[in-house]
Amino acid sequence: MGILSFLGKKARPAEDPVERVRRGGITALTGMDKDQIIQVLAWGQKTTNDYAKVLGKNALAINSRDLLPHSKKDIQTALKLLIYSSALTENGKMIENLKVSYVALATYQDVRPEAAEAMSFNHIVDLAAEIKSLPTDPEKMSAEDREKLRSIAQKLSPANDIQMQCLEKVKAETESLSREVNAFVQSLLEAIAATRDKARDPDQA
């Protein structure tokens, strides 16, 4: 049974179907006809593709939320749409890949520009180069060298504090998104199985 025959309805809401799904989630599909469902799935595919391009370039433990091409909510909805479509076609491998992408949203946090700079690889490399330029023997350090070392330490300390705070947020959101997407997939598969059982046996209550 294909997704269109499974979800297709004759009713045609006046509201834009994509906006309806963005506002109400994928349950809004049940009030749409086939053309509207195709439109919504196309939006879901494009949104997911846009996200995948960013995800492929940013494999860090913490990323700026500003890098996302769409809001987290829209990306979550788009991923759920593709999970829905994959479940109807029994594409288990695709479902697992989409679940991984869903949970990966946790790594994108509201990091201020200065915080992102403090945690950036280039910034740490620059500070490391400054440290390397200093005498390795403390007794050979001048007053200027010692002041420079204190300045570097002050720059590194906020970065560590900010990074720890962000990592805690990532951990909490990772657990939350994992529970959310797993529960979604489980309820979705159960609903599809029940619908197909009913279709095979119309007398089943």
Q: How many domains does the chain have?
A: 1
Average pLDDT over residues 64-79: 94
Assign 72 a pLDDT band (cuts: 50, 70, 90): very high
Beta carbons of 166 and 109 less than 8 angstroms apart? yes
* Residue 168 located in a structural domain: yes
Residue 136: inside a domain: yes
Q: In the numeric block, which tokens belong to residue 46?
A: 């494009």
In a domain, 147, yes or no: yes
Residue range of the domain that includes 99: 3-200
What's the average model confidence in pLDDT over 136-165? 72
What tens digit of pLDDT does each residue of 8-43 get? 555 554 679 999 999 999 999 988 999 999 999 999
Question: Are 103 and 148 contacting, i.e. CB atoms less than 8 angstroms apart?
Answer: no
Q: Is residue 205 part of a domain?
A: no
Q: Is 13 contained in some domain?
A: yes
What's the pLDDT score for residue 197? 82
Say what the pTM is.
0.72
Dump pLDDT digits (tens) for 158-184: 556 667 777 788 889 999 999 999 999
Proportion of the chain above pLDDT 70, given as a percent: 75
Which pLDDT score, from 0 to 100, does residue 13 have? 45
Is residue 169 situated within a structural domain?
A: yes
Residue 115 within a domain: yes
DSSP 89-139: TT-HHHHHHHHHHHHHGGGEE---HHHHHHH-HHHHHHHHHHHHTS-SSGG
102 pLDDT band (50/70/90 cuts)? Answer: very high
97 located within any domain:
yes
Q: Read off the pLDDT band of 3 (50, 70, 90).
A: low
